[in-house]
Amino acid sequence: MRTIYLITAFVAVLTVSLLGLRGRRFVQPPVDVFPEWAFPGMKYQPKLTQQTASPFFADGRSDRAPPPGTVPASYGPAGQALRNDGFLYAGKAPDGSWARGFPRALKVDMALLERGRDRFTIYCAPCHGALGDGNGVMRAYGMGATASYHDERLRKMAEGEIFNTITSGKGQMNPYGDKLAPADRWAVVAYVRALQRARTGVVGDVPDHHKGELEVQ
């Protein structure tokens, strides 16, 4: 009997030493405790989900690009069915020049500016810096000269052109149209304008009830 207990203990110790403890790091795909061949179920369905591989298509991916000319059924802040608002979606005035001001479909208010700050901090600040002066964290890692928003050229640039720069990129900057929906791009434009305005602010711009917070009067 004693031998049997010893063997059992040996098997238990062997199992623990072979399998290890919880939380160890491993690179092989996790073992399935209830494998499909023994317990057929619906755990791994042959359906295609986002960003999965599919040998069916020539490029090997399940995500399909929309055919050229396709328009989302509902899009934009005002739910426009078609992107027929050139100002809102391309930053262009009816005569084809860069539009100034903001599209009528958007209300430029604090909520839009807050949204702009939020998006700016995520997507723009790494290179352009939190103040828009081109001193983002990437500069220390070798990012080339990033434009400062406080240059005369950019201060005078039409809102529509800034919008277009975000949408399509410019020079070394890649497009961000895939990351920012049109309304978000306008929110960022509004926030950029706020940053530019703040740079030239004087004491007289500060509302009276905030004057006490200034260190220099």
Partner 1 sequence: MPALFQKSANRLPLQLILYLCVVACVATAGVTYYMTPKYTRVGYAPIQPVPYSHAKHVGELGLDCRYCHSTIDTAGAAVPTAQTCMNCHSQIRTASPALASVRASFETGRPIPWVHVHVMPSFVYFDHSVHVNRGVGCVECHGKVNEMDVVTQRKPMSMGFCLDCHRAPAERMRERKDVFNLDSPTIAEAKGILVAREFIREWKISPPQSCSGCHR
How buried is 49 (Cβ within 10 angstroms: 0-12 exposed, 13-18 middle, 19+ buried)? exposed
Residue 64 CB, shortest distance to partner 1, in Å, is 13
By the rule CB under 8 A, 171 interacts with partner 1 = no
By the rule CB under 8 A, 67 interacts with partner 1 = no
Q: 53 - beta bridge partners?
A: 61
Q: 173 - beta bridge partners?
A: 170
**What separation, in Å, do the N-terminal and C-terminal C-alpha atoms of the chain show?**
91
How buried is 163 (Cβ within 10 angstroms: 0-12 exposed, 13-18 middle, 19+ buried)? buried
By the rule CB under 8 A, 29 interacts with partner 1 = yes
DSSP 157-179: S-HHHHHHHHHH-BTTBPP-TTT
Options 3, 17, 44, 73; binder of partner 1; rule CB under 8 A = 44
Options 10, 32, 72, 81; binder of partner 1; rule CB under 8 A = 32
Distance of CA 145 to the CA centre of its chain: 22
Q: Which is nearer to partner 1, 74 or 217 (CB)?
A: 74
By the rule CB under 8 A, 70 interacts with partner 1 = no
By the rule CB under 8 A, 154 interacts with partner 1 = no
Which residues are near partner 1 by CB under 8 A?
A: 1, 4-5, 8, 12, 15, 19, 22-27, 29-33, 42-45, 47, 49-51, 53, 59-61, 121-123, 126-127, 137-138, 141-144, 172-175, 178-179
